[in-house]
Structure 1
Amino acid sequence: MSRAEFDREHKLVTSYLFPPFALAGARLSIAFYILVTLVFQLAWESTKDDSIDSFFSYFTNLTFIGLCAYFFASGVQTFFYARSPISDYPLQSWPRILRYLHVLLLSTIATFPLLVTIVYWALLASSSTFATPYIAWSNISKHALNTVFALFEVTLTSIGPMPWIDLPATLVMLGGYLGVAYITHATQGIYTYSFLDPKKQGAKLAAYIVGIAVGQIVIFVVVLGIIHLRERFTVHKSIKNLAKY
């Protein structure tokens, strides 16, 4: 896709509901909340829990970092667009690889948080989920608000459908994470998620891996459907709002 064709309708930086400055503010506010959460958790686990070594080995944390990166990137791009909404925004003139990576990052934050939330509450949540105020806040932020943030982007902005090529790309990422999980076990002696332990799970391990891959496919398709429905029912409102800018 040429620079002239990339996001000609400015869907990546607009909303059918919010004016550009409000959308930029919302995205950056989400980004700052996630950043503060991550920094606090890094500090806490470095000093209180002594579990910082494995922090970046958890898919939950990696996905949360991805959310932070996306909302900062999209918020900044939206801010520049808001300053002059009849012109382009910086991403449109950047190299093709950076434009694609932004769209791919969008595809991950629109689907992975939902996968994380479903897997956590279906397989991993326990009586210790709300054991202390810190643990409760951490779990709510990373296993509930993460999906709220993703759905905000999917339902309340004007982003278009993710390209189908991003589906196999996200599956490759999930496959790559298995390598991270087993490298962590080899180097630190822990399984980041109990269902990845082959000794405990046996034949169920393959079922869990396949199930998560199928879950990602289903979530990707459902999110695409939500975006198509949102576009169908908000197209006239979007056109009306754009006319005001």
Structure 2
Amino acid sequence: MASPKPTPGSSRLYGLLGVPAPFDTSYTLVTSPILPPLWLAATRLTFAVYGTVFIIFRLAYEGIKYHTDSAFFSYFTSLSYIGLFSYFWASGVQTLLFALSGCKRYPLQRWYKPLHFLHMLLLSTIITFPIIVTIVFWSLLSSPTTLSTRYSAWTNISEHALNTVFAAFEIFFTNAGVLSASPAARGLPWMHLPFLLVLLACYLGVAYITAGAQGFYNPHTQHGLLAAYIVGIAIGEAIVFTLVRYLCLFRHHLSIRMSRFGMESVSVDEGSGKRYSGLLADGEDWEDVGRPSAGSRSETSGGRGMAV
């Protein structure tokens, strides 16, 4: 079902939240500067399967052997890890459907604006939170036992190193992170940062719940250290968000520059001679790179010529 037409006021609000109307006409969320949509979908879904298998195996193994599975959801590492692979499932399925449609559309485009915003906010979390987790763990929380056994090495590398590798894939090898209501305001929306800080603050509630229910963390005895962590992580999140935002912008401008030199390589419809590189900005058109075959046609959607 198509989403209702937004009012001018709501359009401005959603524009500030990084949700343009119409939504993602350049397919930035389901394309890559270097991978065809089908390969991008396969990569995202491979990450999603790996993360899901890891989480299920760890819960089962530690629940049976150590009876510590109940503590899994008390850690920000675990919660952010679940969010990371939830994104890969969502984006992977959308990208797959985009590829199977002949690169004409994907379902999220037709959904309601709140779902557009939630998808964009989830994207902002998965390309910033894993970096915070990795920095904090390896600089403050790791110990000589972190890599002492095969199982410990696998779990810690998966949760505290590969998480940032997966986030870096979205930052550097997809077109995500540049969707905006206007070219002048590209990049992760600044309005997402307060939401991310609120989500981090909400995790403090989990710490107190853990202290009351399981007793292995007591925030009441470490007020000074807790305050330092809160301030430090908030500042760290703001810094990481800013760096990631401008990394996405740099990647976007580099991709556009590459496309101008004819370095795009993602084919959509070789038979008709039309090609979509995945490097286009909003308002740029499809590129006719060959002589259309007989019987091929194009149709206009949202002001853009689309190969069919």
Is the TM value for this pair above 0.5?
A: yes
Spell out the pairing of 1:220-235 with structure 2 (5 A cutoff): 220-235=241-256
Per-residue deviation, residues 8-59 of structure 1 (Å, max 9, x unmatched): 1100000011000000000000101101100110111110111111111110
Aligned residues: 240
How many Å apart are 1:86 and its aligned residue? 4.2
- The answer to whether the 8 A contact 1:15-1:158 is kept is yes
User: Distance between the aligned counterparts of 2:246 and 2:151, measured in 1?
Assistant: 36
How many Å apart are 1:205 and its aligned residue? 2.2
Per-residue deviation, residues 175-199 of structure 1 (Å, max 9, x unmatched): 00000111111111012xxxx7442
User: For structure 1, which runs of at least 5 residues remain unmatched after alignment?
Assistant: none
1:162 is matched with which residue? 188
User: Distance between the aligned counterparts of 1:186 and 1:208, measured in 2?
Assistant: 20
2:183 is matched with which residue? none
How many Å apart are 1:3 and its aligned residue? 7.9
Q: Is 2:30 aligned against 1:13? A: yes
How many Å apart are 1:135 and its aligned residue? 1.0
Whichever structure has more helix as a proportion of its residues is: 1
Quick one: structure 1 residues 46 and 238, their matched pair in 2 at CA, closer, same or farther if it must change by over 3 Å?
farther
2:94 is matched with which residue? 77
1:29 is matched with which residue? 46
Q: Is 2:246 aligned against 1:215? A: no
Q: Percent identity?
A: 50
1:139 is matched with which residue? 156
Which residue of the other structure, out of 49, 52, 73, is the alignment partner of 1:56? 73
Q: Is 2:192 aligned against 1:171? A: no
2:299 is matched with which residue? none
Per-residue deviation, residues 196-233 of structure 1 (Å, max 9, x unmatched): 7442x442321121001000000000000100111111
Per-residue deviation, residues 75-99 of structure 1 (Å, max 9, x unmatched): 0000011113442200000111111
- The answer to whether the 8 A contact 2:94-2:106 is kept is yes
User: Distance between the aligned counterparts of 1:183 and 1:238, measured in 2?
Assistant: 52
User: Distance between the aligned counterparts of 1:42 and 1:187, measured in 2?
Assistant: 19
Which residue of the other structure, out of 211, 231, 240, is the alignment partner of 1:185? 211
How many Å apart are 1:131 and its aligned residue? 2.2
Comparing 123-132 and 146-155, the one that deviates more = 123-132
User: What secondary structure, in the 3-state scheme, does the structure 2 residue paired with 1:150 have?
Assistant: helix
User: Distance between the aligned counterparts of 2:95 and 2:160, measured in 1?
Assistant: 27
1:44 is matched with which residue? 61
State the AA in 1 paired with 2:210: T
User: Distance between the aligned counterparts of 1:186 and 1:238, measured in 2?
Assistant: 56
User: For structure 2, which runs of at least 5 residues remain unmatched after alignment?
Assistant: 1-10, 12-18, 179-186, 267-273, 277-308
Comparing 77-86 and 40-49, the one that deviates more = 77-86
How many Å apart are 1:171 and its aligned residue? 0.3
Q: What is the TM-score with the length of structure 2 in the denominator?
A: 0.74
Comparing 31-40 and 82-91, the one that deviates more = 82-91
State the AA in 2 paired with 1:233: L
- The answer to whether the 8 A contact 1:57-1:180 is kept is yes
- The answer to whether the 8 A contact 1:3-1:96 is kept is no
Q: Which has the higher contact order (CA 8 A, sep 6+)?
A: 1
User: What secondary structure, in the 3-state scheme, does the structure 1 residue paired with 2:161 have?
Assistant: helix
Comparing 136-145 and 90-99, the one that deviates more = 90-99
